[in-house]
């Protein structure tokens, strides 16, 4: 930690102190709390995909009738991601994250008492506003508390909790759906989420870098820095030079995304998020239905999506570790190409309930590894591209625009399954991951290797 003289009082650069300091237990507690919020974001988000086969059978409806409900939820996430990013940059990451968790927790629980697709669609729309708002603030908060050498791993570890939430949801769905039905699944998801919201209110701190930018040098900020493990001299003046130098001058956060420094990468990130989220939500929404249509029971259909998510957890953490050592370009492009190849293998694999289920689970797990691995590390890449003043807005805008791909997957998945069966879903995944590869190659401001490996 370097301290330079500036007039009668020395400057203490909190950005440098956090970037070059140890990854302390308190900082890891922040990651754990944010991760808990994102786990239930992932569970609540995928709950309709798990429940879809049961709802279709209980109500005697078609997949095409359920498609608008899937899509309207993505509209909610698109709006929520943009709104959540702006709220986070204006009022704080904690306020935006807690508000989002409360929103999707209450409304997801309410789906349990729905009696029509219109009711489910309305609740899903507003619940997904909260779901979407969580991502940019989770990524920004973890990024701003994690040392530079561990930042990619930290942000990815928080966002990887989306597929981990899918794993939790899949395990619960496999037990709950056959016995208690789909209503109990939504009640459990919403109730657990509200418990996490109370933990966040009690324990989660605001970002120190945000507090310095918004409130200046305050006793509250100094107490937080002490909890992080930083010893700030009493006569020091707190600064954040790196963010001051990078901050956009005289522009709103939204306008700054298209300033000369960030325009190219903003467009490339939007394209990467859009294509990859198309692939992610095609699987989240329609993979259990694809397996059910092929003759597999509800329990195995949920297990197939669970395998897809478990693969994503493993690959995302491995990819984040590689990014810390090799930079982000090579590992992320390699995972995207792996998604293309994996979709080709899915296309060539027949879905036979009497065949090897273990092999099918393996294939789905590997494809989930590549697709989810790219998607979760995209948040770390976006958090790296933008400075504090526009970080939540930048991540939120990429997530928001990317939801166009998720919306398209809601309709495209139903049409593809209807027209081509399982082959249609595999072809969609192949095309989406090919587009993701091209977009990742176009990003200029990829992160560089962090040469120190200590944590």
Question: Does residue 73 contact residue 52 with C-beta atoms inside 8 Å?
Answer: no
- Between 10 and 196, whose confidence is greater? 196
Pairing state of beta strands 9-13 and 3-6? antiparallel
Q: 153: helix, coil or strand? A: helix
At 174 the pLDDT is 83
| Helix residue ranges per DSSP H, 204-297 | 208-215, 219-228, 241-246, 253-256, 263-293
The answer on pLDDT for 455 being more than 60 is no
At 5 the pLDDT is 41
At 1 the pLDDT is 46
Q: According to CATH, what is the number of the domain 12-442?
A: 1.20.1250.20
Average pLDDT of the segment spanning 136-148: 90
Average pLDDT of the segment spanning 101-129: 93
Question: Does residue 188 contact residue 363 with C-beta atoms inside 8 Å?
Answer: no
The answer on pLDDT for 283 being more than 50 is yes
What are the tens digits of pLDDT across the range 321-350? 888 888 889 999 999 999 999 999 988 888
pLDDT averaged over every residue in the chain: 86
Instruction: Please report which confidence band the pLDDT of residue 8 belongs to, taking 50, 70 and 90 as the band edges.
Output: low
Radius of gyration of the chain (CA): 22
Instruction: Please report which confidence band the pLDDT of residue 75 belongs to, taking 50, 70 and 90 as the band edges.
Output: confident
At 37 the pLDDT is 93
Domain ranges of the chain: 12-442
Is pTM, for the whole model, over 0.85? no
Average pLDDT of the segment spanning 296-325: 83
| Chain centre distance of CA 86 | 17
Residue 295 DSSP symbol: T
At 440 the pLDDT is 97
Instruction: Please report which confidence band the pLDDT of residue 434 belongs to, taking 50, 70 and 90 as the band edges.
Output: very high
Average pLDDT of the segment spanning 38-51: 86
The answer on pLDDT for 96 being more than 80 is yes
What are the tens digits of pLDDT across the range 366-409? 999 999 899 888 988 998 888 877 888 888 889 888 888 888 88
At 243 the pLDDT is 62
Weakest-pLDDT range from 14-23, 159-168, 273-282, 379-388: 159-168
Average pLDDT of the segment spanning 172-179: 88
- Show the CA angle centred on residue 445, arms to residues 33 and 450, nearest 5°: 60
The answer on pLDDT for 157 being more than 90 is no
- Between 284 and 277, whose confidence is greater? 277
Q: How far apart are CA 175 and CA 185, in angstroms?
A: 10
- Show the CA angle centred on residue 135, arms to residues 326 and 319, nearest 5°: 20
Question: Does residue 332 contact residue 278 with C-beta atoms inside 8 Å?
Answer: no
Weakest-pLDDT range from 171-185, 286-300, 434-448: 286-300
Instruction: Please report which confidence band the pLDDT of residue 3 belongs to, taking 50, 70 and 90 as the band edges.
Output: very low
Angle at which helices 422-442 and 329-348 pack, to 10 degrees? 160
At 255 the pLDDT is 77
Q: How far apart are CA 5 and CA 247, in angstroms?
A: 23
H or E element, residue 5: strand 3-6
Instruction: Please report which confidence band the pLDDT of residue 244 belongs to, taking 50, 70 and 90 as the band edges.
Output: low
At 149 the pLDDT is 83
The answer on pLDDT for 45 being more than 90 is no
């Amino acid at each position: 930690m370097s301290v330079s003289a500036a007039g009668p009082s020395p400057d203490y650069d909190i950005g440098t102190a956090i970037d070059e300091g140890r990854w302390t237990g308190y900082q890891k507690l922040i990651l754990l709390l944010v991760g808990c919020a994102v786990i239930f974001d992932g569970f609540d988000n995928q709950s309709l995909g798990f429940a879809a086969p049961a709802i279709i059978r209980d109500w005697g409806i078609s997949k095409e009738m359920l498609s608008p409900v899937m899509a309207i939820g993505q509209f909610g996430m698109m709006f929520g991601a943009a709104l959540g990013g702006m709220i986070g940059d204006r009022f704080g990451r904690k306020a935006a994250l807690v508000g989002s968790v409360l929103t999707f927790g209450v409304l997801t629980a309410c789906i349990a008492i729905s009696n029509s697709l219109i009711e489910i669609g309305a609740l899903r729309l507003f619940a997904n506003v909260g779901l979407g708002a969580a991502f940019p603030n989770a990524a920004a908060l973890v990024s701003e508390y994690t040392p530079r050498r561990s930042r990619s791993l930290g942000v990815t570890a928080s966002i990887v909790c989306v597929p981990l939430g899918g794993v939790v949801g899949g395990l619960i769905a496999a037990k709950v759906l056959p016995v208690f039905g789909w209503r109990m699944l939504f009640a459990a998801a919403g109730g657990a989420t509200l418990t996490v919201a109370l933990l966040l209110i009690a324990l989660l701190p605001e970002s120190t870098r945000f507090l310095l930018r918004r409130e200046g040098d305050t006793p509250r900020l100094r107490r937080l820095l002490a909890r992080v493990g930083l010893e700030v001299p009493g006569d020091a003046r707190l600064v954040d030079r790196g963010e001051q130098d990078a901050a956009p001058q005289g522009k709103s956060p939204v306008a700054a995304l298209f300033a000369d420094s960030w325009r190219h990468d903003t467009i490339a990130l939007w394209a990467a998020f859009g294509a990859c989220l198309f692939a992610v939500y095609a699987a989240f929404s329609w993979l259990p239905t694809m397996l059910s249509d092929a003759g597999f029971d509800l329990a195995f259909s949920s297990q197939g999506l669970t395998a897809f998510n478990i693969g994503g957890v493993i690959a995302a953490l491995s990819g984040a570790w590689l990014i810390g050592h090799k930079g982000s370009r090579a590992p992320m492009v390699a995972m995207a190409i792996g998604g293309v190849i994996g979709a080709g293998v899915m296309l060539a694999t027949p879905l036979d309930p009497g065949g090897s289920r273990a092999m099918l689970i393996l294939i789905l797990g590997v494809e989930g590894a590549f697709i989810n691995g790219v998607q979760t590390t995209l948040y770390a890449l976006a958090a790296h591209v933008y400075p504090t003043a526009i970080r939540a807005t930048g991540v939120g805008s990429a997530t928001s625009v990317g939801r166009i791909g998720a919306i398209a997957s809601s309709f495209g998945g139903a049409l593809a399954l209807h027209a081509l069966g399982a082959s249609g879903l595999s072809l969609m995944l192949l095309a989406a991951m090919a587009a993701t590869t091209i977009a990742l190659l176009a990003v200029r401001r990829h992160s560089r290797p962090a040469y120190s490996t200590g944590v």
